[in-house]
Amino acid sequence: MKGIYFILIPVIVGISLGLYIVNGSMLNSVNQESKLTITQLMEDGSPIIGNPNAEISIVEFGDYQCTFCYKFHQNTLNSIQSEYIDSGKINYVYRDFPLNGSDSILAAEATYCANEQGNYWQYHNLIFENWAGENTGWVTMNSLTQFAVDLNLDITEFQNCLTTHKYYQKVIDNENYAKKIGINATPSFLIFNDEEVIRIIGAQQLGKFQNAIDQLISK
């Protein structure tokens, strides 16, 4: 993304059950002097997919057990992928916000273990394909290992990573960062270019994202 290390975005972001534009001091929990850069938004989450030099980015804050995160991934993400990500119009990053507790944290840890073998997004998608509710016990060491088996990962390497909780702190740091900038629900999305941020909350339909992207493209 052009200027990724230098562009400052004000930390103030509009809040809505649907869509709002940046225009006020809604996130009072963050010091007015604090700024968040594009780099800060994009780093420490998933690998970037899409065109890294695209003018528009989407950062999703999600939880692998979250019902509405699951619905978004089932109903909307594929359309965003085909229309905007695969075409190079935007890039996309997922950041962990594990509101549902320890099982959500463990699932997030597992994605980074899969990433060590170049399979972050494949593993991420497989978790949502096997989603079975919030705090119903479906996220376990065994189930997460089976997903790794399904992707033909090196199981010894994967298990060593997961059982030692190698990426636990990374997940917690993602959660704390989300709270710091005022994220308080999953899924939440920040859609932005070098000048403006739009926030969407919830499992919204493609049209909400199209409107936001079109608005940023027109700037």
Residue-wise pLDDT for 31-75, tens only, equals 333 456 777 888 888 999 999 999 999 999 999 999 999 999 999
Q: Which two tokens stand for residue 181?
A: 């900038």
Query: Between these two residues, 117 and 24, which has the higher pLDDT value?
Result: 117
The domains located in the chain, with CATH, are: 8-217 (3.40.30.10)
What is the pLDDT, as a whole number, of residue 217?
Answer: 85
The pLDDT assigned to 80 comes to: 97
pLDDT band at 213 (very low <50, low <70, confident <90, very high): very high
- Check whether the bond before 98 is cis (ω within 30° of 0): no
CB burial class (10 A; 0-12, 13-18, 19+) of residue 33? exposed
Q: Please give the pLDDT value at position 114.
A: 99
Residue 13 burial (C-beta neighbours within 10 Å; 0-12, 13-18, 19+): buried
* The pLDDT of residue 22: 32
This prediction has a pTM of: 0.84
Across 7-21, 25-39, 52-66, 79-93, least confident range:
7-21
Q: What is the pLDDT of residues 144-188, one digit of tens each?
A: 999 999 999 999 999 999 999 999 999 999 999 999 999 999 999
Angle at 99 between CA 203 and CA 39, to 5 degrees: 75
Q: In the structure, what pLDDT confidence band is assigned to residue 96 with cuts at 50, 70 and 90? A: very high
Name the 3-class secondary structure at 164.
Answer: coil
1 has a pLDDT exceeding 90: no
Q: How far is CA 34 from CA 9, 10, 12, 168, in A?
A: 10, 8, 10, 26
Residues of 89-116 as b/e, b for ≥16 C-beta within 10 angstroms? bbbbbbbbbbbbeebbbbbbbbbbbbbe
Q: Which of the pair, 32 or 77, is modelled with greater confidence?
A: 77
Q: Flag whether pLDDT at 17 surpasses 70.
A: no
The structure tokens 């909780």 sit at: 165
The rounded mean pLDDT for the chain is 85
